[in-house]
Structures are given as C-alpha cells and as structure tokens.
C-alpha cells in the first residue's frame, strides 16, 4: 500500500513538471518568432530597400554601370640614432580600393 501511494506521487510530479516545461516553451514561441523575424528583416534591410522593388523581366540582364579603382602606395625610411647604436626603420605598403556599381535588372518605383 505504501509503494502504491509513492508511485502515484512520482507520476503526478512528472506530469506537473512536464506541464510547466511545455507551458514555458509555448509562451516563449512568440519571442522566438519575433527574434527570428527581426534577424530576417535586418538581413533584408542590409540588402536594400524592399518597398516597391520589382524585377524587370524584359530580357535585360544585369550589367555593370560603373567601376572605379584607386591605388596608393607609401614608403617611409627612418634612421634613429642613440648613443652607441642606431636603428633603421622601413615602412612600405600599398592600399587598393575598388568600387563597382551594377544594375541587376531591379527597379524601384
């Protein structure tokens, strides 16, 4: 008789625990959904404006409308002298920046 009561108590504790966990998970679905939608919206905003964007299917594919490349280089040679010693410092480098704009067949209204 004693084991029977304890077994029923254990089952009821499991049912209560599972009910609490399921209730918590169902209540969190809204927040998970909003977070996912926010990530998708952020990614779409980084791509570009989505309001009124339509694709032109008139056979005009994407094409490059402009390109620009800027290259710069620099060099710096320095000699530092201390009593009894000196140091040669050479700094050289180059920077390249490339910009390209293209039309992918999309138009904004």
Lowest average pLDDT, out of 1-5, 34-38, 77-81, goes to 1-5
Predicted confidence (pLDDT) per residue in 75-107, tens digit: 888 888 878 787 887 888 888 888 777 666 655
Flag the least confident range among 19-23, 53-57, 76-80. Answer: 53-57
What are the structural domain ranges in the chain?
1-48, 56-109
CB contact set of 72 (below 8 Å; sequence gap of 6+): 94, 95
Report yes or no: 20 and 14 within 8 Å, Cβ to Cβ. Answer: no
| Residues in Cβ contact with 61 at an 8 Å cutoff, skipping those fewer than 6 apart | 105
């Amino acid at each position: 008789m004693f084991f029977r009561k304890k077994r029923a108590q254990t089952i009821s504790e499991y049912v209560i625990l599972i009910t609490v966990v399921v209730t918590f998970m169902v209540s969190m679905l809204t927040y998970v959904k909003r977070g996912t939608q926010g990530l998708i919206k952020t990614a779409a905003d980084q791509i570009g404006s989505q309001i009124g964007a339509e694709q032109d299917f008139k056979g005009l594919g994407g094409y490059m409308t402009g390109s620009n490349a800027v290259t710069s280089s620099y060099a710096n040679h320095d000699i530092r002298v201390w009593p009894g010693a000196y140091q040669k410092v050479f700094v050289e480098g180059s920077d390249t920046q490339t910009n390209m704009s293209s039309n992918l067949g999309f138009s904004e209204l």
